[in-house]
Amino acid sequence: MAGNVVELNDGTFDEHIKDGLCLIDFWAPWCGPCRSQTPIIEGLAGKVGDKVKIGKLNVEEAPQTATKYSVMSIPTLIVFKDGEEIKRLVGVQNEETLLEALGI
Whole-Å CA distances, 61 to 13, 40, 92? 12, 22, 21
C-beta of residue 16 within 8 angstroms of C-beta of residue 6: yes
pLDDT of residue 1 exceeding 50: no
- Provide, rounded to the nearest whole percent, the portion of the chain with pLDDT above 90: 93
| 22 catalytically annotated | no
- Position 49 scores a pLDDT of 85
pLDDT of residue 2 exceeding 70: no
Using CA atoms, how far apart are residues 51 and 35, in angstroms rounded to an integer? 24
C-beta of residue 26 within 8 angstroms of C-beta of residue 74: yes
| 34 catalytically annotated | yes
49: left (phi over 0), alpha (psi -120 to 50) or beta: left
Active-site annotation holder among 31, 86, 89, 101 = 31
Active-site annotation holder among 5, 34, 52, 62 = 34
Q: Please tell me the pTM assigned to this model.
A: 0.94
How high does pLDDT run on average in the chain?
95
For residue range 52-99, what is the model confidence (pLDDT) as tens digits?
999 999 999 999 999 999 999 999 999 999 999 999 999 999 999 999
